[in-house]
Amino acid sequence: MDKEYLDKLRHSTAHLLAAAVIKLWPKAKPTIGPAIENGFYYDFDFGDIKISEGDLPKIEEKMHELVKNWKNFNRIDVSIHQIKKEFKNNKYKIELAEDFASKGEKLTIFQSGEFRDLCRGGHIKNPSEEIKYFKLLNIAGAYWRGDEKNTMLTRIYGTAFSTKKELNSYLKMLKEAKERDHKKLGVELDLFTFSDLVGGGLPLWTPKGTLMRNILDEFVWELRKKYGYEKVEIPHITKKDLYVISGHWEKFKNELFKIKTREKHFFAVKPMNCPHHTQIYSRKINSYKDLPVRYANTTMVYRDEQSGELSGLSRTRSFTQDDAHVFCRKSQITDEIDNIWNIVGEFYGACGFDLKLRLSLSDPKTPKKYLGKRAVWEESENSLRKVISKRGINNFLEATGEAAFYGPKLDFMAKDSLGREWQVATIQLDFNMPENFDLYCIDENGKKERIVMIHAAIMGSIERYMSILIEHFAGKFPVWLSPVQVKILPITEKNISYTEKIYNVLTEKSIRVELDNKSETLQAKIRAAQLEKIPYMIIVGNKEQETQTISIRSRDGKNQQNIGPDKFINNIKNLIDRKSLDL
């Protein structure tokens, strides 16, 4: 479906939502109601009135009733004086109107039926015929204009489609996504937890969750090591001066955790690692023969996210970057990015993701958002186009305005098993930070040559990638990634001695195994292992003990009876070594 039309449909449905709310709660104050990815929302100030998700059906009913009389969206040009008069009891609309007017924008009201709303426009032509297939989804809190110093509003989320089939398909996907929610599964599988005493957005990792993180990070390191990367380590705080020079203090200051020392010095808790790495590079004079210099560093960073924006592992205040920075000559850019691209492809292939490319560019209309001169940006963006051309990629999206403030980037987009798209790995080309920090090498003629910097994060945020993996696999991880790969279930106490022998053999072969020797029925033990989504269960009874064999029950219900332990070990080791997705 045409995205522009869908955005208009959803924005129009947001108007309808506001109209229904006002009919039901006349004192409620509507604020803003944009279309967003997969739907829309509208924020309201209900004052002392409390509404819940139990109210959504009656709001929907009122929306269906009102839309019958909505024949069009009638545009009315108005003055700021008229806005202040009409919306005298709604400070939010007046504030918006004053902002629009200060920027020289025309003020318009759009009316459908009896409902009138301050709006820039972007609506469908015939709402009574086109707004049919919508659903209100949930309620959340949201600060006015995203500022926690402002009033907390009530946000009602919804979605809309042009056909019933599309709506039903989306609602079915949402239902399955809810069942796969990493915030639910991560706790059930004992991978991570949160503590009110530690604080929101600060996940705590259990032994199993930590094991998974380490498996993923070690995989990235094994891939990087092939291309000559070296590990470095850095502190978690820095003087303000470092980020002033890098540009982060100006462009990123609202997301920095700041520290003032007893000696009145200003420090920041690091929100990223690149400025620190520049100082490792610049500790000595580098010859062109030393380049490329490749540093890798898995380390936690911290960002002062607003409480209302936190969401499980997807949006946190502390997260871990598997970060790397390449310092190289311009002539080496293509080969270095090509190598990183190979790492990205192999890493995501192991979890079955097909990747699409997005070239994220600067927006020439908003130069203040970026460091450096326009000519430098054009050069760096063209350099990335050359890399894409070398790979023979023709089907990719150019996204104006999505660049980092210091450089353009290649963003890799992955679709999960529910068809949702996530931005995962990123490769950023930076001509500006080397300029700010005066990073150079000595060229063949003994002169200083400005170098460039390539930022490369394969997972980006391990926390966020873990959330994607949990939901992608619904917690049923491939054998190579599962925290526990095998669980041994003795049927009776008489079988425990033999199962302990099997446990020791598997452990010696570096297979992650647990032994369930609790005094419970076999069915109870199987049920527990299924809930933990463990790939394999080894079941041992008197028959297996007598024949020195084992019986295998896989997570997907397949059974193998009375096979030799060595054969099973060879099979599972083969799956692990190949990073197979099969059982």
- Each residue's pLDDT, cut to its tens digit, for the chain (583 residues) gives 588 999 999 999 999 999 999 999 999 999 999 999 899 999 999 999 999 999 999 999 999 999 999 999 999 999 999 999 999 999 999 999 999 999 889 999 999 999 999 999 999 999 999 999 999 999 999 889 888 789 999 999 999 999 999 999 999 999 999 999 999 999 999 999 999 999 999 999 999 999 999 999 999 999 999 999 999 999 999 999 999 999 888 887 888 999 998 988 889 999 999 999 999 999 999 999 999 999 999 999 999 988 878 899 999 999 999 999 999 999 999 999 999 999 999 999 999 998 999 999 999 989 888 888 899 899 999 999 999 999 999 889 999 999 988 899 999 999 998 888 999 999 999 999 999 999 999 999 999 999 999 999 999 999 999 999 999 999 999 999 999 999 999 999 899 999 999 999 999 999 999 999 898 999 999 999 999 999 999 999 999 999 999 999 999 888 888 899 999 999 999 999 999 998 8
Show the domains of the chain with their CATH numbers.
Answer: 3-171 (3.30.980.10), 188-234+276-473 (3.30.930.10), 486-577 (3.40.50.800)
In angstroms, the Cα distances linking 215 to 209, 212, 347, 398 are 10, 5, 12, 33
pTM: 0.86
Asked if 155 and 165 count as a contact pair (C-beta separation under 8 A), the reply is no
Per DSSP, what are the bridge partners of residue 44? 30, 154
Alpha-helical runs (H) found in 68-190: 80-86, 91-102, 127-130, 164-180, 182-188
β-bridge pairing 536-540 and 486-490: parallel
Question: What does the pLDDT look like over 517-527, one tens digit per residue?
Answer: 898 999 999 99
Asked if 90 and 84 count as a contact pair (C-beta separation under 8 A), the reply is no
Asked if 157 and 138 count as a contact pair (C-beta separation under 8 A), the reply is yes
Q: Using CB atoms within 10 A of its CB, is residue 112 exposed (0-12), middle (13-18) or buried (19+)?
A: buried
CB burial readout 55-89, b (16+ within 10 A) else e: bbeebbebbeebbeebeebeeeebeeeebeebbee
Active site residues: 274, 303, 321, 323, 325, 409, 455
Question: What does the pLDDT look like over 406-447, one tens digit per residue?
Answer: 899 999 999 998 888 999 999 999 999 999 999 999 999 999
pLDDT for residue 2: 81
Percent helix / strand / coil, the chain, rounded to 5: 40, 25, 35
Contacts of 368 (CB under 8 A, 6+ apart): none
User: Reduced to 3 states, what is the DSSP secondary structure of residue 110?
Assistant: strand
Place of tokens 């920041």: 268
Q: Using CB atoms within 10 A of its CB, is residue 253 exposed (0-12), middle (13-18) or buried (19+)?
A: middle
